[in-house]
Amino acid sequence: MVEPWRTPPQFVATPGEPSKGAARPGGGAAPLPFGGGGGGGALPGFVRTVPPVNEVKPPQGQDFIVGGNLAGASVVTTPAVVTGVTFTVPVGSVAYIRSLVLQVQQVLGTSDIAFAVRVDATPVPGWQRIPVLPAVIAVWAQSWGPEEVYIEVQPGRTVDVSVTVLDGGAYNVGAILHGWIVPSALAVASRAGWDM
């Protein structure tokens, strides 16, 4: 569940400053000049709301996307990591996984297949057994977007997607992970500002 956005206290105008859009002499609202004026400080009454870095990629953030396929996934060859779907978070950064796509070709009515998102080979709670719904279809695909995926991965950790087949079939499977990384200091500052 996503909590309502709130402004961290360090970004709220100090007491005694007029509120945003305060009236000026003669009526009307005071315009907000670009660049904060010549003094270099914040405009009186101007509230800067900075969204959490796990919800909106900041200017310092860098996207990552990894994807790949695994042919012949079967009860004999799995559990196995989907080839190409491995990402190691650089030291000094924190990663946020924000979307996931899974795919299986030639699904059967008897298929028993499950995926897992893992960090350092340990399944992520809530993402440890993602089932494939059995049906006779050429391609089964499922995706989860940024409104649904909030997986934080700490510096130096490795994230991947594994698949397990428990029926007698052999399948070509695929997966894609997308998200962004931010400097660890920025992640800590964002957490401090929002975890009040």
Find the mean pLDDT for residues 19-48: 47
Domain ranges of the chain: 1-49, 62-185
pLDDT at 33: 43
As a whole number, the mean pLDDT across the chain is: 85
Amino acid at 148: E
Pick the CATH number of 62-185 from 2.40.30.40, 2.60.120.1390, 1.10.287.3510, 3.40.50.1970: 2.60.120.1390
| Lookup: tokens for 5 | 């956005």
Residue-wise pLDDT tens digits, 91-147: 999 999 999 999 999 999 999 999 999 999 999 999 999 999 999 999 999 999 999
Q: How many Cα atoms are found within 13 Å in the side-chain-facing hemisphere of 70?
A: 27
pLDDT at 36: 43
Residue-wise pLDDT tens digits, 135-187: 999 999 999 999 999 999 999 999 999 999 999 999 999 999 999 999 999 99
**How far is residue 181's CA from residue 125's CA, in Å, rounded to a whole number?**
21
H/E run at residue 104: strand 93-107
Compute φ and ψ for 191, nearest 5 degrees: -65, -45
For 107-128, letters b (16+ CB in 10 Å) and e give: bbeebebbbbbbbeeeeeeebe
